[in-house]
Amino acid sequence: MARDVIDVLNDLIQLDRDAIVAYDRAIEACEHAHTKERLASFRDDHARHVVDLTAHVTSLGGIAAQTRDLKGKLIEGFTAITSQGDQSALLAMRGNEELTNRQYQAALDESLTAEARAIVERNYTDEQRHLAWIKDALSRKVWEQAA
């Protein structure tokens, strides 16, 4: 069982590492301080997820994923190419957060230890909050309000 849990958690570690880089690209593209601040706080959540997941993988006797995969590099490239201002950065991050939410939800369908499930549930709550804020910011056109 522990091997399967380690694999699931390592997939999430890679996902969160990819998200950190995508958030960095989106933050660079944003023009308004409030949007940058919110995206930076979401990036920091992903960094905390990596720390928490890594600690649990190690506690299970596993080795935590250290590198990003091809998918992550594609996400980074897509985010960088499409992010030219707050609106496009938020659109790119909405897609990234939709992916992240789906993967965290799928992880909860796996057989996890009680501690792993608690970590994944906590992180998934963050992901839902990120996506909700991004969707709301897009619907309110925050880039126009900040101008």
CA geometry: angle at 105 spanning 114 and 101, to 5°? 130
User: What is the model's pTM?
Assistant: 0.88
pLDDT in tens, 89-124: 999 899 999 999 999 999 999 999 999 999 999 999
**What is the rounded distance in angstroms from the CA atom of residue 112 to the CA atom of residue 124?**
14
Kindly report, residue by residue over 129-142, the tens digit of the pLDDT: 999 999 999 999 99
The ranges assigned to domains in the chain are 2-145
**What percentage of the chain reaches a pLDDT higher than 90?**
74
Taking the mean position of all CA atoms in its chain, how far away is CA 13? 9
* Tens-digit pLDDT profile for residues 45-55: 999 999 999 99
The closest of 2, 107, 7, 23 to 65, measured between CA atoms, is 7
Q: Can you identify the CATH homologous superfamily of domain 2-145? A: Ferritin, core subunit, four-helix bundle (1.20.1260.10)
pLDDT at 67: 72
